[in-house]
Structure 1
Amino acid sequence: MSYIDCCDWEKCNQCGICLSKCPVMKMGAKEARLEVNRLQAGEPTARVLSECTLCMSCNGFCPNGLRPYELILQRVSEQADRKKTVPAFLPYMLQGAPGPNFFQDLYAGLPGPDREILKKWGEPPKPSKEVLWIGCIGRNFAKDLENSKVLAGLPKFSPSHLCCGELHYRSGQWEAFTANTERLVSALDLLKTDRVVCYCGSCCTYLSKIIPQVAGRALPFETISIYQWLLEKFEAGELTLKNPIMFKAAIQESCYVSELGENFGEILRKIYKAAGGDFVELQHNRSCALSCGAASIARDFKVGGVIRRQADKFREIKAAGVKETALNCPGCYLTMAPQSWIRGVKLRYMPEELLRAFGDDITTPISGMIPSVMKAFAKRLPLAVKKMDAGRVAKSL
C-alpha cells in the first residue's frame, strides 16, 4: 500500500482544477492539466515538485473527490535523490524510531510532577462518554491540562510514546507512517468511549480523516476537535466567559483546516468570537489559506523554501492591518516564532487563549517551549549535517 492507493485515479479527468486553484502556484488551466498528467504518469514536473508547499488544500478542490495531495506526496517520496538519502535529523523527529527522539528529549526535561502526569495519562481511563486525546506538543503542558477547570470533565489519554503520525506522513515516510498507525490504533482500540476530543487539530485530522480514509483503519469512536467541544459547551451554557480576549488578530488557518472542511472553519470563527476579541480575515483564508510553509521542507529538506513561504504569510498578516495572528496549530506557532520576532508580529496560540478566556490559569504557555526546543536541537546538532539511507528510516520503525 502507498499514498496513492487511497483513490481510484481512473476517475481523474485531468481537468487541472486542483492546481489552478492552488493559492501558491496559481497555474493557468492548460499548465495545470499538463502538470496533473505528469504527476499521474510519474514523470518529472515543471513546477509542482519544486514549488508545492504540501498544504493539502488541493484535496478540497477536486470535483471528483480525489486526493491530489497524496498523489503529489507519492511523487515527492519517489524522487531519486530522496530514495537514496535523507537527513539523519528526520528519524529524530519521528516518534517510534530507535535512538534519540525530539519529543522524548522534551518530555525528559519536564519537571517531575509533569512527568508523573504523563505516566498517568499513559493508561486507558475508565469507560466514559468522552476522552481527551493529547498529542505530542500538548504533553508539554501536562500540569495545565491536568488541572484545567474547563477540561475537568474529560478523562485524559496520551501515552507519551505515541503520536498521530503527522510527521511520518507528511515527510513522505509511508512505511514509517503505517508502522506508527498500527501502534496508535492498537492503543486507541483500548478506549471505551463514544467520542475522542483532540486537543491538537493535527491529531483530529489524522484520527478522523487520514487514518480511516488513506490508511484504511476505522476507529471505534467519533473524533472531534477541542474547538467543537468548547463551542458545544459554550452554546449549552456549560461554559461562561471569565477573561474575555482583548486583542485584535488575523485568523491564521493551518493546513488541516481545509482537510477538516468548511464546518471546521466556521467552528473556529464561532468559538473565537464567543471568547471575545476582534478577529479579521486574511486575503487567503479557509480552503485557500496560505500555510506556514513548514510542510514544504519535505520536498528537499531545505529550510530556504519554508522561510520564503513564511515571509509571504507575515506580509499578508500586516496587509490585513494587524500585528497579531491567531494560530490553531502548534507546528505553525513553533516554526513561525523565530521569524515573528523579526517581523514584529505577535503569535497567539488559540488553544491556550480559549482555555484562559473560559477560566483556566495558563502557567506553561507554548512560548515557554522555545528554549527547550532550541536546547533539544542544539544537543542533536550533528544529526543536521549527516545523511542516512532512506530505507533504514522505514526499517527502523
Structure 2
Amino acid sequence: MVMVLSLKKRLISLLTSAKSDTDFLDQVNKLAALEGTAVFQTLLEILGGIDIAEHERKELWQNIVYHRQQLSLTLGRDVDITTAISDYLQTRTSLLKHPRIVETSAFENIVHDTVHDNLTGLANRPSFDQTYQQQISMAERHGDNLSVLFIDIDNFKDINDTYGHAAGDEALRTVAQIIQHEKRNSDIAARYGGEEFVLLLSRTDNFNAYILAERLRKHVAETIIKHRRDSFSVTISGGIATYPTHSTDPAELLNLADSAVYLAKGSGKNNIAFYKAEKRRYLRVKIHEPVLVKELDFQDSTVFSALSKDVCVGGLLFENSYPLPIDSLIKVRMPVGDNPPVLLIGKVVRVESLGDNRYDIGMTTSFRSMDKIASEEIASILRKQVQSPDPS
C-alpha cells in the first residue's frame, strides 16, 4: 500500500493529466485494483472533502460513476466527474451540504501542509499513523516483512543548551535530509515527535533493515552541521523491530522498536540495536569480575571485596558479604578488559539478601562517572550484544 500522501499526489496528477474523464476513470479503476478501496476514499476526500467508512467506499463510487452517466444522457453532453460528485452528494445523500470550489493546485498545497512536518519536511505524526495501519495490512495480505526503525538524536537537549534552539532545529532538518537521502523510494519516513524519527521499511527483514540503518547512522555521524558561527555534529541511536517476526500487533511492534532504541542508547549511543526479549530497557551483560567497594560517606569506611554480576550503562550489580545502606554513595573499583581497573561512583538503589552473609547490591552510575577507557570498553561489550539479532 502506498503512502496516503503519495496516493493523493498520484490521483491529483491523474486529474490534471488525463485526456478525458473516461481516461481518468479507467486509470482510477486500474489503481484501485492494485491499492484497494483507499483509492475511492482518497478521491472522495480530494473532490468532496468527505470521509467514508471502508465498506461503503466502493459502492458509493460506483453510484457516482453511474450518476455521471445518467446526467450526461439527460443533458446531452459529457458531465465531468467533479460535477457529478457534487450533484450526487447534494441531491442523493446528506454528505455534502455546503460545497466549495477549490483549485486542484491549491488543494495539493493544503494536502502537503496537512501531512508534512513543517520543520523537517517529513511526514508528520497523524499522517504516519494512518499510513502505518495501511502498511501493516499490506504486509499481512501479501505475507511480507515490514521493519520499523525508530531513530532518536543523542543528547539533543545538550545541543539546544549549548548552541540554542535554532541550532537544534538545524540539527533536526539535517538528520531529516539524511534520512530522505538514504531511504529507498518505497520507505516511509516521518518525524514522530521531538527529536524522534521513524521509518517504515516495506518488504524488509531485520537484517536488511540494519544495513540501511547503519548506513544512515554513519552518514549522520560524519556530517558537520553549521549554524551561524558554530559547527557541530550529532549522532543517532536506532531500534529495529520487524513484522511478523517480533509481533503481528501494530501497536506492540512500535513499542518494541522504541524499546530497542533504549538498548542502543544503553550500549553507549551512536548505535543501532535489534529488539530483544529483554525486560529491562537497558541491556545488562553478565560480567563475573572481582571488585573493591567502599562507602564514600565515611572516611574510615571498610573496603569490601565483592564480585560483579551484571553491568549496563546505568549501573552495576555485584554480590557483597555486607549490606550497604540504600542511597549511600559508594565507589567501586572494577577491572575492564585488559586495561587497569577503573573507578565507578554511584548510589546504592537495591539490597537483596541471598543468605549466609551474601547480598546483591545494585548501584546506579553513568558514563559521566567513568573515565574514557571504561566508557569505550563497556560500550563495546554491550554493543556486541545488541547488534546480534535474536534467532527468531
TM-score bin, normalised by smaller chain = under 0.3
Q: TM-score, normalised by structure 2?
A: 0.24
Structure with more relative contact order (C-alpha pairs < 8 Å, separation 6 or more): 1
Please say which structure displays the higher CA radius of gyration.
2
Q: TM-score, normalised by structure 1?
A: 0.23
More helix by share: 1
More strand by share: 2
